[in-house]
Amino acid sequence: MNRTIKEATVKRFHYESHDQLRTHLADFTVACNFGRRLKTLGGLTPYEYVARIRTSEPGRFIVNPTHQMPGLNV
């Protein structure tokens, strides 16, 4: 994953400041977690996989993962 992040950010773009890099990293992470389907997770996105496991095995989670996501948590 480190190589994927590096190739998608610092190897492709020039950033004028650390804030630009932080913003792009946050956007990239959200895009991966909610939009990238992974073969190892059975074709699910990481978010879909965590949501599925949370409903089938709620005892494995101490914190509600929706509180860790940016945006409205309805």
pLDDT at 45 (0 to 100)? 92
11-69 pLDDT, tens digit each: 888 999 999 999 999 898 888 888 889 999 999 999 899 889 988 988 888 776 666 66
pLDDT at 37 (0 to 100)? 93
Higher pLDDT, 21 or 72: 21
Query: Beta partners for 38?
Result: 44
pLDDT above 90 (res 5): no
pLDDT at 16 (0 to 100)? 93
pLDDT at 20 (0 to 100)? 93
Strand, helix or coil for residue 38: strand
Closest by alpha carbon to 27, among 12, 14, 39, 9? 9
